[in-house]
A and B are shown apart, each in its own frame.
Chain A
């Protein structure tokens, strides 16, 4: 390289810098919507073409994969970034976003446009829109209903030889499990079984460490075992609820399930890893959010009649709950295009758009859509979705959510995957961590 080369390099650098300046100027008539990168987001891109045609606004999208979603988007909100005009943020962010003024409060807008929260599934309104919970302060419009449930290999369950063997071993039919105990039996039954010349495994569950994976999975099971976030009569009183004997049993169950019945290398699995395991025919049972079901139903390997769906089975005392997923759509306070953003929400809330949303694989939270008599039979998983949606619970949505989640991720992963300490230790530790967080928050 000679000096002349360097000079031309410098000129190129200057040219590029000039290029940045021009590309930096955003089109006045565009909106950026931020969400997770997953199937429903792709469907929303298609759906939004109608809005673009009607409004003349160009929609831009920023989709971030789940393991990085919270990290990236909360960073975006906290840095006061202007990237996102609309945010389909996770349900647990609502407390922080509301208290720190990161989302626009939507009450006036809803009143003006005649959008009524009573038209939406109640659990989604509480979960995605309200802060403080159970008060009529709305920060989002329920956009995508989601809940943890199970899909299973209906075709394997239907094999006579397997049915016979299962009956002989467990004294009951090989069928959709009614309790978590039954679920584990089935998982154990399939673990390392040869099916069509391939070794298959029991269940794909959530074990991811980096974001929220293992917490979503463990909580999904703990609720039905009797776990409570706090003393119902005394908020933020955790001792004896978070680490109750029932909760300890639930956590022990989750570890047993992880140890006995998951595929090899299942130590860091969340939504996409679990889908992979299920779609590649590795597992009989598959814990995942309902959003995966349209994709499974359409899949060439495991789709159609090969798969069935069921909501969370019951715990030892017969109680059944499920972990809420899903998100509401909010307007970001630092956006300079709030008018257009609100217009988008107005468009999105229309019943016919919501109907189309459901048809494209988006779980609408509008009662008019889900209460339609044709809804439950419109897809094989529609009824399971409704049943699951009726039993949801959600993780803390406090402003300190991130610290609470981090503590849970660590305690659960340390115990379930890394095998350190006992379930009691893990939950005692968790109660201590959470109490510390709330203490820092000045809750006591």
Chain B
């Protein structure tokens, strides 16, 4: 590639572009870095003025996000004797005792169950429908596909009104099953669109060859098409998972004590009298970092998926 090409930018242009983009990237991740660093600050360091860049790290925020604490009077604390564990010691210096676990672990588990549950269901249904749309000629296909897609245009709050009533009469309010079904339905349109694109790319000759070899249509789908579409299925799955993981509006309106996911819960983390920012940051960090790591590791599939999905539509 030593020959001169007009489409290849000059080294100077590359340098300038690189510096500008890196500058923007650094500014844009600053809030995320701030969330992570705040989670290791003590409450007083977190609200220090001016904001502290260097501080002594502590895991107090993480202890606080997983526990509930009660304030006791000095006499009552004396009566309790010496704290036995490291986390007891940590809260004891603020005049508090740990009275039990918080709901954070449950909410996080709910996010995992509902996220993965709806993703699996969405992929199973979506792949099947996408296969049918891709392989069989459907006269009204475009209309049907557009109809499927248009269901995403409704504001979630508007959709939530009848869903609330429906869930109430079916006993699905605040259940994992209800949320899994709902998120599956919301994601299904995107998943069908994306997967149809991936399956379209697989040459039909493979299946025909399999059918000639005596496979049934279903076997051909299962043993030939699915493995070919695996990459596409994986990146679609990541999208469904991230959507379900991040979703807030439905979760805040339709879940409560049993099936509430982490996004409505994290903003409601408060300390014992007063906002406990390190605990909020600790909860947010635990919740956000998996997605960040995921994004960086799977960037090739993910970025392609975003543009592919959008541009196809």
Contact = CB atoms under 8 A, between A and B. Distances in A.
Interface of A: 1-3, 5-6, 9-10, 12-14, 16-17, 19-20, 24, 32, 34, 37-39, 42-43, 45-46, 62, 64-65, 67-68, 72, 75-76, 79-81, 83-84, 272-273, 275-276, 279-280, 292, 294-295, 298, 300, 361
A241 B54 CA distance: 57
A272 B270 contact: yes
7 contacts: A13-B119, A16-B117, A39-B272, A39-B273, A80-B168, A80-B173, A300-B95
B117 A79 contact: no
A16 B116 contact: yes
B91 interface: no
A76 B256 contact: yes
B70 A43 contact: yes
Contacts of B69: 42
Nearest to B273: A295
A37 B268 contact: yes
Interface in B270-309: 270, 272-275
Q: What 5 A-B pairs have minimum CB-CB distances, sorted nearest first?
A: A1-B234, A13-B120, A83-B257, A42-B70, A295-B273
Given A45-B70, A75-B256, A275-B274, A20 B95 contact: no
Interface stretch (B139-147, B185-193, B224-232): B224-232
Contacts of B112: 16
Interface string B104-135: 00000000110011011001100000000000
- Chain A interface mostly: helix
A32 B257 contact: yes
A9 B272 contact: no
B203 interface: no
A42 B272 contact: yes
Given A79-B164, A272-B270, A72 B256 contact: yes
A319 B70 CA distance: 38
Nearest to B231: A1
Interface in B153-206: 164, 167-168, 173-174, 176-177
Contact of A6 (B71, B237, B258): B237
Nearest to B259: A20
Given A62-B257, A75-B253, A279-B273, A6 B268 contact: no
B233 interface: yes
Nearest to B223: A3
Contacts of A2: 227, 230
B10 interface: no
B7 interface: no
B141 to A, nearest CB: 26
B100 interface: yes
Contact of A272 (B71, B234, B237, B274): B274
Interface string B236-270: 01000000000000000100111000000000101
Nearest to A64: B268
A334 B71 CA distance: 34
Contact of B117 (A13, A37, A72, A75): A13
Interface centre among B100, B103, B116, B124 (most CB of A within 10 A): B116
B47 interface: yes
Contacts of B273: 38-39, 272, 275, 279, 292, 295
A79 B268 contact: no
Contacts of A80: 168, 173
Nearest to A303: B95
